[in-house]
């Protein structure tokens, strides 16, 4: 099961690279990137893909094929997922000078790169399964553009579980289902008194109910102040809504993959209830994000990239993905 879940990271990577290749990302407006950093954003992601080929040709092939066959409805979804999370992080960083970001289940995500450049006082911790972070570590050290930016030596001299252990950036191997070990590692590489952004992007949906709740409770108790940003699918709670059951069936048949809580926390309200310890919790589905948080100038830019004729399909899909923000 662990390896099957890890493979979903390459789905996310292929979607991100597809959106970049067509021009959906980066969004200089919503990701607040100056022109030079927007160019680096593209270079970093392309450099990651090219280097990935040296370590995992099968993953490279999968990502490369997906990029060539991406549809507008998928690119819109990736755009919304990316800018929604980034905007939430940037809003929090705008009112807190010194912040640490902890990306739980980081996979191949390169979000740390622009944030580390934009915010000199930011520290960033990536955590995921050992196999996932080992591939990421290899790529970051092998790629000249990525290695240079992060100021990494080519060879890894840091003992596991810390594959990268710098002052501002750490890459950590950990099974997040092991709550005791996760807590121990967070104690080692973060400061409980510094405002903390916790990011869980399509992580909790693959965890069982008990482990995911223990993880949430542990983190909320550990840090004095913070913002948890979570992006996940929800199954849908209306009697005639079959999105979740169809999704479960498709994943089981095609990959033998399960989402244990997809139908347990199948509405925005049920999903938010997991953060009852937090002072302020808001949940929006991504269709709401599209209609309320994307300015008309940005919508016009998106329309210029690809013709989208599957608007109803986009609405159905994005109303079953949520962005949750819990502040404490």
- Beta-strand pair 321-327/226-233: antiparallel
- How far apart CA 207 and CA 209 sit, in angstroms, is 6
pLDDT tens for the chain, 328 residues long, are 567 777 789 999 999 999 999 999 999 999 999 999 999 999 999 999 999 999 988 888 888 888 888 899 999 999 999 999 999 999 999 999 899 999 999 999 999 999 999 999 999 999 999 999 999 999 999 999 999 999 999 887 777 899 999 999 999 999 999 999 999 999 999 999 999 999 999 999 999 999 999 999 999 999 999 999 999 999 999 988 999 999 999 999 988 999 999 999 999 999 999 999 999 999 999 999 999 999 999 999 999 999 999 899 999 999 999 999 999 9
Q: In this structure, what token pair is assigned to residue 73?
A: 């409805």
Distances from the Cα of 295 to the Cαs of 73, 223, 290, 302, in angstroms? 19, 34, 9, 11
Q: pTM higher than 0.85 for the full model?
A: yes
Q: What residue ranges define each of the domains in the chain, with the CATH number in brackets? A: 2-327 (3.40.50.150)
């Amino acid at each position: 099961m662990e390896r099957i879940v890890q493979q979903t990271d390459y789905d996310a990577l292929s979607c991100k690279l597809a959106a970049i290749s067509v021009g959906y990302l980066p969004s200089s407006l919503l990701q607040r990137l100056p022109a030079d950093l927007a160019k680096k954003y593209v270079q970093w992601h392309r450099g990651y893909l090219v280097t990935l080929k040296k370590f995992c040709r099968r993953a490279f092939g999968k990502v490369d094929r997906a990029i060539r066959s991406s549809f507008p409805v998928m690119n819109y979804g990736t755009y919304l997922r990316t800018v929604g999370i980034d905007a939430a992080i940037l809003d929090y960083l705008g009112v807190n000078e010194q912040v640490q970001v902890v990306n739980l289940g980081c996979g191949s995500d390169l979000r740390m790169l622009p944030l580390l450049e934009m915010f000199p006082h930011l520290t960033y911790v990536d955590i995921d399964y050992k196999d996932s972070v080992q591939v990421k570590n290899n790529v970051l050290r092998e790629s000249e553009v990525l290695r240079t930016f992060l100021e990494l030596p080519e060879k890894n001299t840091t003992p596991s579980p810390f594959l990268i252990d710098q002052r501002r950036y750490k890459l950590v191997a950990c099974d997040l289902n092991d709550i005791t070990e996760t807590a121990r590692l967070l104690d080692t590489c973060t400061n409980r008194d510094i405002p903390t952004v916790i990011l869980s992007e399509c992580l909790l949906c693959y965890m069982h109910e008990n482990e995911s709740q223990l993880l949430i409770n542990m983190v909320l108790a550990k840090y004095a102040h913070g913002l948890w940003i979570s992006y996940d699918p929800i199954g849908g709670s209306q009697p005639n809504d079959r999105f979740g059951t169809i999704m479960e069936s498709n994943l089981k048949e095609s990959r033998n993959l399960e989402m244990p809580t997809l139908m347990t926390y199948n509405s925005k309200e049920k999903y938010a209830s997991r953060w009852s310890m937090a002072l302020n919790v808001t949940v929006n589905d991504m269709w709401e994000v599209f209609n309320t948080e994307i300015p008309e100038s940005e919508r016009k830019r998106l329309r210029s990239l690809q013709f989208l004729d599957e608007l109803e399909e986009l609405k159905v899909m994005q109303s079953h993905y949520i962005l949750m923000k819990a502040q404490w």
